[in-house]
Structure 1
Amino acid sequence: MMNSDVMGIWNKRDDVLVHQAEPYNAESPPGALTRRITPLDSFYGRNHAPIPRVDPESWRLRVDGLVDHPLELSSDELRRRFPERSVVATLQCAGNRRADLIEVRDIPGQVSWGPGAVSTARWTGASLADVLAEAGVRPDAAHIAFTGADVSPQAQPPQPFGGSIPVAKATSGEVLLAWAMNDQELPVAHGAPLRVIVPGWIGARSVKWLRRITARAEPSDNYFQTEYSILPAEADPLRAGPGDGITLGPIALHCAILRPAKNARLPSGPTEITGFALAGDDRTVARVEVSTDHGRTWTHADLDPPDNPWTWQHWRTTLTLPPGETELVARAWDSTATVQPESPATVWNPRGYANNAAAHLRVLCAP
C-alpha cells in the first residue's frame, strides 16, 4: 500500500505491490496483466533515482556524437518535424521474477520482484530511425546511447541513468521516442516529456526523461549499461568489472501463470488456467504447454496471436485438478523452437536478472 504522497505522484491503484517508495519500484497486480493493454494506473514502475524536475518549456533533446548534423530539438520541433508513429509494446524489467531466484539462493540488495514487473502499452511518438536519419549517422557509429535526466546514487559517483543499443536496432522502425502512452500524454512518472521505447528489449534500455542521444563507436560507458548483465554464479557483483558479464539486450523467453493465484484453494475438477507469454526481440511465442504432473505430460494451451513481435500473448486451458496439492508448470516455446529452462536454479545469477525459467505455481484442491 502506498502513502498519500507517493500515490499523488504516481497515481497508481491501491493494489499495486510497492517494493520501494523512493526510488519508486512497484509491480502490476495480476488482474491488470490479463488485459491486452495495461491501464496507466496499473503499469509497473522501475526506477533507480527520484523523478527529475524537467521544465518542458526549456527542455531540449540533443542528438550528437558520430553524426553529420547534430540536432537540438524542443518538444514542439520534434512533433512538428517528424511523422507521428505508434506501436503496442510490452516492457519488462530485467529483474522480473527475481523472487523465484531468491528462493534458490539469497541475492542481497536487490528488489524482490514477483511476476508483475511487466506491462503493455500503446506508445506514440517519433521514430528514432527518422531522427537519426536527419542527424546523419556516420558509418563508424555502431551504437546509439541514451542519457536521461534522473541522477542515480547507485553509481559512484552518481550519474544520470543511461544505456545503449546497437545501430541496427536503433534504426529499425519500431523504436520510438515516445511522448504519449495509451493515447494520453506521457505521464511524468513514466518519463515525460520524452522517453525511449525499445520494443523486445529489457526495460532498462527504454530510458525515461530522455535528454541526449549519442552515436558512438562503442556501447555506452554508462554505469547501467553493464550493471544490467548476467554474471557467473560465483562472481561477486560488488567487484565485477564491465567485461565480466553478458550485457542484457533482448528479453528472454518468458511465461507466467495469472490464474489461479499462487497457493489458491480451489474445488477439485475442471479448472481454467490462464497466463501470458512473451518471446522478446522480434520473436513470437509459438506454443505454451501446461503440466500438472511435474512435466511428465503436457497439455497445449490455446494461445492468442501477437499484435506484433513485441507484445505478450495471452493463453488459457482447462485442466482437471485432483484433490490435494498440485503444482502447475507452464512453459513456452518461441518461433526459433527455443524452450524455457526447467527450473530457476539453472538460471540463478548474483544480480538476479533474466529469470526465464518455466512458471511453477502450487494450488490446493478440496475433495
Structure 2
Amino acid sequence: MSNHNDPETPDVFRTPIEQVFVRTHLGEAPAIDAADWTLTVDGLVERPLELDLAALLELPQTRVTAVHECLGNPLNPDVPTRAVANLEWTGVALSAVLALAGPSAGARHLWLEGTDTGSFAGESGLTYLKDLPLEEGSAAVLLAHRVNGEPLPRQHGFPVRAVVPGMFGTNSVKWLRRITLAAERPEHLFTTRLYNRVLPGSDERVPAREIDVSSKLLTPRDGARVPAGVCELAGRAWSSTEVTSVEVSVDDGPWRPAVLEPRGAQPAWQRFALDHDLAPGPHRVRARATDAVGRVQPLAGTRNHVHEIRLTAGAEHEHE
C-alpha cells in the first residue's frame, strides 16, 4: 500500500486537492483515456448497461461536500494515520444508474471494481474490489467525476470513482470500471480477508465501513514555537454522524469544552477551537471528540485515539 508522502492537513473547510493524501494498493495509478472509458453494470440486473463518460454526464448531476478519511494500512489497522480531507464531489447518484439497469429481486450486494490491477500482501493478479449492501450503497454512493469543481486528477481516480460519504476511503473505489449486483458478498482479499475489524463492545468481525469519531489538532502545528500567553488551539472533528462536542486538555489538565461549529446539511468535518493561556515552556495538547450516537475518542490504543501535539511557548520577542 503506497502512501505517496502524505501532505499536512490544512485548517480550511475544503481541502485543496494537492494537499489530499493519495493511496494505491496495486501499483501506480492507471492511465485511462476518458474517450475509451466505460462503466459496466451487470450481474443480477434486468438490463445490463455499458455507459461511456458522455452518457454518464447526461444523467442528473449532484454535489456533496464530505469528509474523506483513510482507515490506515489494512495490515496494521489499529495504527493511527490521521490522513483526512474534506472535499466537494460532483457526480451522478448511483441510484440513477441502478434505475436504468433494474436490479433483480435476488440482488442484495453491490460489487465495485476498479481498473487497477497488481499484487498485494503476497497475492498477485488482483483487481481492487469492494462491496456494499445494495440498499445502503444505492442510497449513499456517488459516481464522482469532479472534485472541488475540477476533473478528478489521475491519482484520485480519473475519470470516475465511487464516493461513499460517511465511510472510510477504502470503500470509495477509484478508477471505477464495473458495478456488479449479486446475491452474496464476493470472497476477495479486500472484502472478506482485509479491511475487517471488531468494533468496541462486540465480538463480531465486520467490514470496515462506517468512519469513527475523530478529531485532529491543526493549529498550531505539532512542534511549533508560539508566543506565551493566550493561544488558539484549533482543529477539525468528524464522524459518520454529527460531532456534538470536542474537549481539549493541556498538560494533562481538565478537559475543557471547545467552541464547535455545527455540521450542517452536508456530511463535512467541523472546526473546533479553544483559547488557552500558555505559560512559557513546553506543553502537551490533546483533543477528543464525541458524536451524536455517544461514541467518544479513546485515550489510547486504537486507530482513532485522541490526537496530541507538542508546543513550546516563549516570550513575545522570541523567534525560532
- Tell me whether the two structures share a fold, i.e. TM-score over 0.5: yes
Structure 2 residue corresponding to 1:253, chosen from 213, 216, 240 = 213
Give the Å deviation of 1:288: 0.7
Letter aligned with residue 46 of structure 2: D
Give the Å deviation of 1:120: 1.6
Task: Return the alpha-carbon distance in structure 1 between the equivalents of residues 76 and 104 of structure 2.
Answer: 43
Give the Å deviation of 1:114: 4.5
Aligned to 1:44: 21
Give the Å deviation of 1:24: 5.5
Q: How big is each residue's C-alpha offset from its partner over 1:163-211, in whole Å with a ceiling of 9 and x where there is no partner?
A: 0111222121x42101111111222221111100000101011101100
Question: Are 1:291 and 2:249 counterparts?
Answer: yes
Q: 1:231 to 1:288 in 2, by over 3 A?
A: closer
Letter aligned with residue 363 of structure 1: L
Kept in 2, the 8 Å contact 1:27–1:118? The answer is no
Aligned to 2:222: 262
Aligned to 2:63: 86
Structure 1 residue corresponding to 2:4, chosen from 25, 29, 36 = 25
Question: Are 1:326 and 2:303 counterparts?
Answer: no
Q: Which has the higher helix share?
A: 1
Aligned to 1:335: 292
Aligned to 2:318: none
Alignment: residue pair count: 308
Letter aligned with residue 70 of structure 1: P
Give the Å deviation of 1:364: 2.5
Any residues of structure 2 matched to 1:95-134 within 5 Å, and which?
95=72, 114-115=81-82, 117-134=83-100
Task: Return the alpha-carbon distance in structure 2 between the equivalents of residues 35 and 148 of structure 1.
Answer: 30
Aligned to 1:271: 231
Give the Å deviation of 1:99: 10
Kept in 2, the 8 Å contact 1:292–1:327? The answer is yes
The gaps in structure 1 that reach 5 residues or longer are: 1-19, 103-112, 233-242, 348-354
User: Please, what TM-score do these two structures have when normalized by structure 1?
Assistant: 0.78
Q: How big is each residue's C-alpha offset from its partner over 1:309-364, in whole Å with a ceiling of 9 and x where there is no partner?
A: 52111111101123333221111010112211111x2x2xxxxxxx1111122222
Give the Å deviation of 1:101: 6.1
Give the Å deviation of 1:157: 2.3
Q: 1:312 to 1:66 in 2, by over 3 A?
A: same
Question: Are 1:188 and 2:151 counterparts?
Answer: no
Task: Return the alpha-carbon distance in structure 2 between the equivalents of residues 77 and 132 of structure 1.
Answer: 14
RMSD: 2.5
Kept in 2, the 8 Å contact 1:88–1:307? The answer is no
Aligned to 1:197: 163
Question: Are 1:149 and 2:115 counterparts?
Answer: yes
Equivalent position SS for 1:158: strand
Q: 1:215 to 1:175 in 2, by over 3 A?
A: same
Percent identical among aligned pairs is 34
Give the Å deviation of 1:54: 2.0
Structure 1 residue corresponding to 2:257, chosen from 300, 319, 325 = 300
The gaps in structure 2 that reach 5 residues or longer are: 316-320
